[in-house]
Amino acid sequence: MASLENVAKGVRTFDAFPKVSSTYTTRSSQGGVVTIILSVVCIFLIWTEMGSYFAGIEEPQFAVDGSVGRDMQVNLDITIAMTCTALHINVQDVSGDRLLAAELLKMEGTEFDLSSTHELSIESRAAADEDLPSVFRRAKVAKKFRKTKKSHPNSPACRIYGSFSLNKVQGDLHITAKNFGYLGDSESEITTKALNFSHVIDEFSFGAYYPKLENPLDGVAALIDANLFRYQYYLSIVPTTYVSYGGRHVVATNQYAVTEQPTSQVNSNHPPGIFFKYDIEPIGLTITERRVPFWQFLVRLVNVVGGIVVCTGWLFPLIDSMWIKWTKGARSVARETQTLLDKGLKE
């Protein structure tokens, strides 16, 4: 027992945290206010660090896309201010293949509605930036196109929507009028006065259909005041894969940047219509969610909170002493003023 007591006494000499008796400490309202503020700041910092830890870090990585040459799905939902019987929808790529997209898409008569639309701006031309939690949350939404509002065969506008596959090479998806651009295949005579390629794009994406993911052309509208008009969109597509922490969720899609070129210069080689000219970039982008190790998170948490507490412990005595000196000086001045007034009254 004696040896244990001697060991305890020897260890006590290395105590780096001196203890102060409660009889030598005083509590003040200033110290209470500072303690409350310090507690609120510490809770806020802990909450922020936990949020950043669970949110993770997005790590982009570029690599050569090995899927070039395979099929690619296109998702289209566009409303044009013309009747459905007057429209042609086709796809033609650099390999010379021609796809009759009208046979793979649904065409329904509807009203031409410009509410909740916008013009293609500089901000919306680039690929939309979304954080990974938003991507995974929106990718879980049911992959179905909404129903057409006020659908009627004789409506003045036509809604074209659906998904189909095409070759993953450079190509051109175009919407033209019958007997404008393709000779000999018109089912009815379409006059120039009947042409109106004003349009609203509700969905235009490549890859699996995720209706809630943002794309540059989603919600874009274009009003055209000329009959013979050619509206061209140039799209640069980058295959993109989102991978969640631990690889539990993987969303394979495509981002794209877009520019527009409206022109009224049309001829037999450049007929009026809406043209989507797309090109596939040979580089793919993989965005992976990473998190710092848990022990690093604990170290950062201790450093932040400990640093705030230590700095406050150093600054509070200095501020408190300055406050006491300032209040004492103000009180002494008030007392001297009061004494001079009293003397003046007595005299």
> Phi first, then psi: what are they for 147, rounded to 5°?
-75, 150
Domain that holds residue 135: 60-290
Whether 195 is covered by a domain: the verdict is yes
Same domain flag for 227 and 157:
yes
Same domain flag for 49 and 156:
no
Same domain flag for 150 and 190:
yes
The average pLDDT across 263-270 equals 80
Same domain flag for 110 and 245:
yes
Q: How confident is the model at residue 26 (pLDDT cuts 50, 70, 90)?
A: low
Q: How confident is the model at residue 340 (pLDDT cuts 50, 70, 90)?
A: very low
Whether 20 is covered by a domain: the verdict is no
CA angle 63, 66, 67 (to 5 degrees): 125
pLDDT of residue 345: 43
Whether 76 is covered by a domain: the verdict is yes
Q: Choose between 113 and 154: higher pLDDT.
A: 113
Q: How confident is the model at residue 123 (pLDDT cuts 50, 70, 90)?
A: low
Same domain flag for 310 and 217:
no
Quick check: 232 pLDDT over 90? yes
pLDDT of residue 31: 66
Residue at 338: amino acid letter:
Q
The average pLDDT across 200-222 equals 90
Worst-scoring range by mean pLDDT, 12-16, 34-38, 195-199?
12-16
Beta bridge partners of 253: 207, 240
Whether 16 is covered by a domain: the verdict is no
Q: Choose between 185 and 98: higher pLDDT.
A: 98
Q: From residue 219, give the alpha-carbon distance in Å to each of 66, 229, 342.
A: 32, 21, 81
Rounded-to-integer distance, Cα 50 and Cα 60, Å: 22
The average pLDDT across 284-311 equals 83
Q: Choose between 275 and 302: higher pLDDT.
A: 275
Q: Which two tokens stand for residue 229?
A: 């008009």
Whether 83 is covered by a domain: the verdict is yes
pLDDT of residue 200: 93
- With contact defined as beta carbons under 8 Å apart, do 200 and 110 qualify? no
How many domains is the chain built from? Answer: 2
Quick check: 74 pLDDT over 90? yes
For residue 123, the Cα-to-chain-centroid distance in whole angstroms is 12
Whether 319 is covered by a domain: the verdict is yes
- DSSP code at position 25: -
The average pLDDT across 73-83 equals 93
pTM (predicted TM-score): 0.70
- Report helix, strand or coil for 331: helix
Same domain flag for 316 and 187:
no
Q: How confident is the model at residue 297 (pLDDT cuts 50, 70, 90)?
A: confident
Same domain flag for 130 and 212:
yes
Quick check: 195 pLDDT over 80? yes
Quick check: 196 pLDDT over 80? yes
The average pLDDT across 36-61 equals 81
Rounded-to-integer distance, Cα 200 and Cα 231, Å: 12
Same domain flag for 185 and 228:
yes
Same domain flag for 171 and 256:
yes
Same domain flag for 66 and 173:
yes
Whether 132 is covered by a domain: the verdict is yes
Rounded-to-integer distance, Cα 147 and Cα 161, Å: 10
Torsion over CA: 99, 282, 238, 285 (sign): positive
Whether 1 is covered by a domain: the verdict is no
